[in-house]
Amino acid sequence: MTTIKKSIVINASVEQVEAFLNDPQRLPEWYPGVTAIDPSPGYPVEVNSSCNITYKAGGVTMDSKFTTIDNVPLSKRTFKMDGMVIGTNRWDLSQEGSGTKVDLTIDYEMAGGGLGKIVDKLLVERMNEKNAATSLENLKSMVEG
């Protein structure tokens, strides 16, 4: 299992950050690699709602299904990822001064057993690390915008 952890402080209230994150249609605008999304009604707020996401990393296009498995408003949200990437994607929001600290934790493994692990180590992990960091910078810029 590969774990990616990234954090950033956004100069906006927790409510403002969460409101932005609640709009799945904006995901391709700020999360690099996301090329298409198809959310079900209620996604991402309602537990068991889902979204099909097409993601490109390291020249590899992956289709994933994100299902909301935990949602504590103004605090945390966890998604189960299924498809070529299997695992969880967790967003934690907390007040920090007059801003909001956003912690992103992605725990995943590539499908395909040993070959998936090789592809992850050679290509995907570095791109996922970079895209996670860039996504938080983009999120900060857009929310503070």
Average pLDDT over residues 42-46: 97
The reported pLDDT for the residue numbered 69 is 98
Q: What pLDDT, in 10s, does the model give residues 56-69?
A: 866 778 899 999 99
Q: What pLDDT, in 10s, does the model give residues 6-41?
A: 999 999 999 999 999 999 999 999 999 899 999 999
CATH assignment of the domain containing 114: 3.30.530.20
∠ CA 46-52-55, nearest 5°, is 125
For CA atoms 38, 35, 66, 73, the dihedral sign is negative
Range of the domain at 40: 2-144
Counted domains in the chain:
1
Predicted model pTM: 0.89
